[in-house]
Amino acid sequence: MRRPTVRTLSLVAVTATALTVGAAAPPPQSSAITPPAKSPVAVGYGGAVASVDPDASAAGIEVLRRGGNAVDAAVATAAALGVTEPYSAGIGGGGYFVHYDAKTRTVRTIDGRETAPLSADASLFLGADGTPLPFAEAMTSGLSVGTPGTPATWKTALDAWGTKPLRDLLKPAERLARDGFTVDATFRAQTAANEARFRDFPASAELFLPGGRLPEVGSTFKNPDLARTYEKLGRHGTGALYRGDLARDIVRTVQDPPVREGAQRTVRAGDLAERDLARYETVWRKPTKMSYRGLDVYGMAPSSSGGTTVGEALNILERTDLSSLSKAQYLHRFIEASRVAFADRGRWVGDPAFEDVPVRGLLSQRFADARACLIRDDAVLTSPLAPGDPRDPDPEPCAAGGTAAPTTYEGENTTHLTASDKWGNVVAYTLTLESTGGSGITVPGRGFLLNNELTDFSFAPANPAVHDPNLPGPGKRPRSSMSPTVVLDGHARPVLALGSPGGATIITTVLQTLTGVVDRDLPLVEAIAAPRASQRNQTTTELEPALYGSPVRAELEALGHRFRENPEIGAATGIQRLPDGRWLAAAEKTRRGGGSAMVVRPAS
C-alpha cells in the first residue's frame, strides 16, 4: 500500500482536528500569577511553541513576537520551565538540543549531558563491600550529582544561532520567579511525592514547603532566589555557573550536603570539584539519520541512546505495512521492535568518548533486517532478549548473537519543548534533572535543585559476562534515552518535530507517536494523546490504563504478551509544518495535567 505523501499527512492532521485554533500567548506584560489559557493544540502563523506548561510556552511566544527566532524562544521557554517545572528541569541539570536551520536545510545537535567528576571510576556507586548502593540512597545524595550542562547548552545554541542576548531571554522566567506562578495539581502532587526528601534539606524545605506546608492548588508560588540567579546569569553570562561564587556554592553543596539536624536519612557526599565545572563543555554531535517511509528522521546520537534506538526500531518496522494492521497487530509489531532495539541498546550504547559505539551498524537496514526476522506474528519473543552484533549482522539463522542483559533503571522525570519560527527554523529540546526533584538538594540561596543524573549509569555490570558500556568513568556522560527528533521531507523541509520525558519510556513514546502519525494517519495531537505501551527488553510490557483495560490486551495476551499497568507514560510535545505555511503545535490533553500549545498568530 502506498504511504500518504507529506502533504497528505499534513492535511489529514488539519482536517481531523477540525482546524482547531489553540491558545495564543497573552500580552507580554500580563500578570504572571494568572496563568495563560491552556490548549493541547494550536494552529497559526509566525511560529509555535509547545511545552508542558502555559507560562513557559507563553515565554517562548513572547520572544517570537519580539522578533526572536526558534532558538531564542527555546531558551526562554526552558528557563521558564526551570521556574514552573523545577522538579523536571533547570540550570542544575542537562539535556539535548536538536536544531533545524531553514536557511541551510541542515540539522545539528548539541550534547549538553551532565558529566561525572574527574575522580569517578566504575566503583562510583559500589559500597565498601563491593555491592551496589541502594538506589534510594544513591539518588538523594551529592554522589549522584553531575556537572550541569543546561546553561552551557543555552550558550552554545545562542552563539551558533541565536539573535537575542541571554539577559533578554531570561527576563520572562526571571519575572515568573519573582512575581510567582499559579500552583496546579501536578505541581502539588510532585511536591508531595518529594515532601520527605525536601524536609531533610533546609534550603529545599524553605523553598518548596513554604511555611512548612505543601503549596495549595491555586496559590502563588514564588522563587526570588532563582530570580536573582537568572539575573546574575543575564548580567555575567552562563559562565557564572561554572566559575566564581555560584560554582563554589554548587561544589560546597555537593561535597557537604546541607542536611537538617536530626535527619535519619543517609546522605552521601559527592566529589564534584570546581575543576569539573570549569572544564565542562557541550559537544557537537552528528545527528543520527535514517529514512522511514520516504522521510528523513534525525535524532540524538550517543551519549543518548534515543536516536539509535528509535532509528533501529523504525528500520525493523519499515518492512511491515503498519497502516493495514489491526490495532492489536500494530501494537504487537511495535512492542516486538521495541524489545529488539532495547536489547541492542543495552549492549552497545554509551558515551562515545569512552566506548566504541557502532552507530552506523545500529542504524543500518541490513542489521535491522537481521533482527526483524526474529519477530513472528503468532508468538512473542522472550525477554531479556540477547543482543545482536551490528558489526557483523547475519540474517541466518535469525538468532541473537550475544548474552542477554536486563535493562537498567532510568529516572522518568524530564521535560520536552518544541519551537519554530516564521523563518522555518525548528528546535526539539529535551532537558532533565533525572528523577522527579533530581537529588532533592537545593543550592542554598540560589533557588534551583541539583540533578541526580549519575544514577543513569549502571551501578554494576548488568551482566558480569558482558561488557557494560554504561559504567561510570572520569568525566563520562551517563547513557540517556532522551529522543528529541526532527523529521524532514524529501526536500529537507520540516514535517514534524517531537520529543517526550519519561526515562527509558521516552524512546517508545517517540516511536509510538511517530508511527501513529506516519503509519496510522492520526493527527499529531491524537497521536500524542493515544494510550501508550512501552516494552524495554523486560519480561512484561507496560500499558497505560486505557490499553490495560481494553479488549486489545486480551488479544495480545493470547499471543503470549505479559503486561503490567503504568498510570502514565511520557508527556510529549510536537510541532508540524502544514502545506499552507501554518504551524500546528500539539501537547498532551491530560498527562501531567495537560500541556500547552501556542502560536504567534492563531488562524481564524
Do residues 597 and 22 make contact, with C-beta atoms less than 8 angstroms apart?
yes
Q: Which amino acid is at 408?
A: T
Q: Where do we find the cell 542537562?
A: 94
Among left, alpha and beta (phi > 0; psi -120 to 50; other), residue 47 is left
Largest CA distance in the chain: 68
Question: CA 420, CA 554: separation in Å to the nearest integer?
Answer: 42
Nearest to 345 by CA among 431, 407, 283, 391: 407
Give 10-residue mean pLDDT values along the chain (604 residues).
37 38 43 76 98 98 98 98 96 98 98 98 95 95 98 98 98 98 96 97 98 96 98 98 98 97 95 98 98 98 98 97 97 98 96 98 96 94 93 69 68 87 98 96 98 96 87 98 97 97 96 98 98 97 98 97 97 96 97 96 89
Q: Which residue has the cell 553543596?
A: 253
Q: What is the DSSP string of 32-61?
A: SSSPPP--SEEEEEEEEEEES-HHHHHHHH
User: In whole angstroms, how far apart are CA 480 and each of 106, 145, 409, 414, 587?
Assistant: 24, 15, 11, 11, 22
Phi and psi for 500 in degrees, rounded to 5? Answer: -160, 155
Per-residue exposure over 178-215, b if at least 16 CB sit within 10 Å of its own CB, e if not: bebbbbbebbbebbeebeebbbbbbbbbebbbeeeebb
C-alpha cell at 145: 550529582
| Spatial CB neighbours of 318, under 8 Å, sequence gap ≥ 6 | 292, 293, 365, 368
The one-letter amino acid code at 46 reads G
Active site positions, annotated: 414
The number of residues in the chain equals 604
- The number of beta carbons lying within 10 Å of the beta carbon of residue 450 is 29
Structure confidence at residue 409 (pLDDT): 66
Task: For residue 369, give Cα distances in angstroms to 318, 335, 363, 373, 396.
Answer: 9, 16, 11, 6, 10
Q: In 3D, which of 595, 604, 491 has the Cα closest to residue 49? A: 595
How far is it, in rounded angstroms, from Cα 544 to Cα 327?
A: 15
DSSP 397: S
Q: How many CA atoms lie within 13 A of 521 on its CB side?
A: 14
Q: Identify the pLDDT of residue 401.
A: 59
Cis peptide before 397 (omega within 30 of 0): yes
Q: What angle do CA 151, 153, 157 make, to 5 degrees?
A: 125
Total Cβ atoms within 10 A of residue 286: 11
